[in-house]
Chains A and B, each alone.
Chain A
Amino acid sequence: MSPIVSFRDVHKSFGAVPVLKGVSFEIPKGQVVALIGRSGSGKSTALRCIDRLETIDRGSITVCGHAVSDPNINLRKLRQDVGIVFQSYNLFPHLTVEQNITLAPRWVKKADRRKAHELARDVLAQVGLLEKIDAYPEQLSGGQQQRVAIARSLAMHPQVMLFDEVTSALDPELTGEVLKVIEELAKQGMTMLLVTHEMAFAARIADRIIFMHQGLIHESGSREILRSPSTPELKNFVGAGL
């Protein structure tokens, strides 16, 4: 079976600054991959390239059979298969939780009102926020907003979920509730890529860890590499994180 996400020798620069200098990796179906590394190591950029929020300069990216690096790609088809959750939630402030969730199913997948409502209830139950279905984003805590953002992505039934430092803006006590939802998704077999600073969390749920350093994959392997890193850079990074 072909992998859900595949990077081949991906290069990307912002102006004169190279951010990705030949990155190759694959995410098979059902796998949870944690992308770790210092700020500026290129991990968020790599994640954003998957959904074509950034275009690459060289190499190729394939996601769920879509050639992402092809300039003629059907972006809307790609983005129906990819769910993405951001650090800053990005809920739509003028819409209720239900409307936030049902907007894309109704407008993109043409779901009728009743079906969309059922869908919203399903995904909200999944993130444990059914009682907030009629609330507006500003009435929710950061952790709740992030869980709604996850539910909103799930409502499109993506084949892969990308999480871009989704707990970095949250207080420690709110981080837990979001990580619990992600862990639950992992148990259900969702294919996921997490860019995260939560080392303990990565060590607990990731099938594979990829450590990026200066635009390259410096070390990768099972979660064991966090306990016994083989490169001094990862050793350093893990040490600083603990």
Chain B
Amino acid sequence: MNYSFDFSFLRDYWPMLAEGLVLTVQLALMATVLGFLLGTACAVASTSRSRILRGLVGLYVEIIRNTPLLVQLFVVFFGLSSLGLKFSATTSAVIGLTINIGAYSSEIIRAGIESIHRGQVEAGDCLALSRWQVLAAIVLPTAIEKVYPALASQYVLLMLGTSIASQISAEELTAAASRIQSDTFRPFEVFLVVAALYIALSFLMRGMFWALGQFAFTRRRRLGTPL
């Protein structure tokens, strides 16, 4: 063991890492927000009375959960361009990641919805609320509150998963690292730095989800019950 570490590449290459980091954050943020919306819509559809809607969501979820993320990204990236739709690698990555995380979000939120006592919906119905009002005011807020920790972990995993977008040439953090190490021949140091950055991002994200939870779930905040 007489490996001598050399982190001097940071001096010249930090802007490239910073750009990659920014894109990673953007990918994660967009896929989280869009995936949450898609997942919520799918969860609502999968608990609806329509057999067709339930079937379609079931099919979507099964396909996504039983294929690798890398393959999904390739299908989106090459598929869209074969159909004549020209999207940048970044846009393709956002679409692919959203479709992926949407399926997982849908399953988590569906579990939340199904855990809600039927009496809650009945009480809403009996107060003359419409079906959508019951959903928006009662079912979704309580369902999402229940599964919030599971959702948050899933989105942190998604952020880590954005590294796969490097394979369709989206210039995020891992892609930047690959390029730097091929220039500097210092792969160990480069990926150590990148690993540290991912860890920092994970902790930052968890902190943000905690803060968002405190803001969104007033009751938990006021009564001090942990999520």
A contacts, CB < 8 Å to B: 51, 53, 75-77, 79-80, 82-84, 86, 88, 90-96, 103-104, 107-108, 136, 138-139, 149, 152-153, 156
Contact = CB atoms under 8 A, between A and B. Distances in A.
Among A94, A104, A136, the most chain B Cβ lie within 10 Å of the Cβ of A94
Contacts of B141: 94
Nearest to A104: B127
Given A108-B128, A138-B223, 7 more contacts: A53-B122, A76-B130, A83-B126, A88-B119, A94-B218, A108-B129, A136-B223
Given A94-B219, A107-B137, A86 B119 contact: yes
A138 B222 CA distance: 12
B122 A156 contact: no
A108 B129 CA distance: 6
Size bin of chain B's contact surface? 20 to 34
B119 A156 contact: no
B145 A94 contact: yes
A233 B128 CA distance: 38
Contacts of A96: 219
Contacts of A92: 120, 123-124, 137-138, 142
A94 B123 CA distance: 14
Contacts of B138: 92
B213 to A, nearest CB: 13
Contacts of A82: 126
A82 B127 CA distance: 8
A144 to B, nearest CB: 16
A152 B124 CA distance: 11
Contacts, number: 69
A95 B223 CA distance: 12
Contacts of A75: 125, 128
A156 B219 contact: no
A139 B225 CA distance: 12
Given A90-B119, A90-B120, A139-B223, A51 B128 contact: no
A80 B128 CA distance: 6
Given A92-B120, A93-B142, A107-B133, A156 B223 contact: no
A118 to B, nearest CB: 18
Given A94-B217, A136-B222, A103 B127 contact: yes
B119 to A, nearest CB: 4
A90 B123 contact: yes
Among B120, B126, B133, B142, the most chain A Cβ lie within 10 Å of the Cβ of B126
Contact of B219 (A88, A93, A107): A93
Q: Can you list the 8 inter-chain pairs with the closest CB atoms, starting with the nearest? A: A104-B127, A90-B123, A79-B128, A90-B119, A80-B128, A76-B128, A108-B128, A84-B126
Contacts of A152: 127
Contacts of A76: 128-130
Contacts of B133: 107-108
Among B122, B128, B129, the most chain A Cβ lie within 10 Å of the Cβ of B128
Interface string B108-141: 0000000001011011111111100100011001
A90 B142 contact: no
A104 B222 contact: no
27 contacts: A51-B126, A76-B130, A77-B128, A82-B126, A83-B126, A84-B126, A86-B119, A90-B117, A90-B119, A90-B120, A90-B123, A91-B123, A92-B124, A92-B138, A93-B142, A94-B145, A94-B217, A94-B218, A103-B129, A104-B127, A108-B128, A108-B133, A136-B219, A136-B223, A138-B223, A152-B127, A153-B127
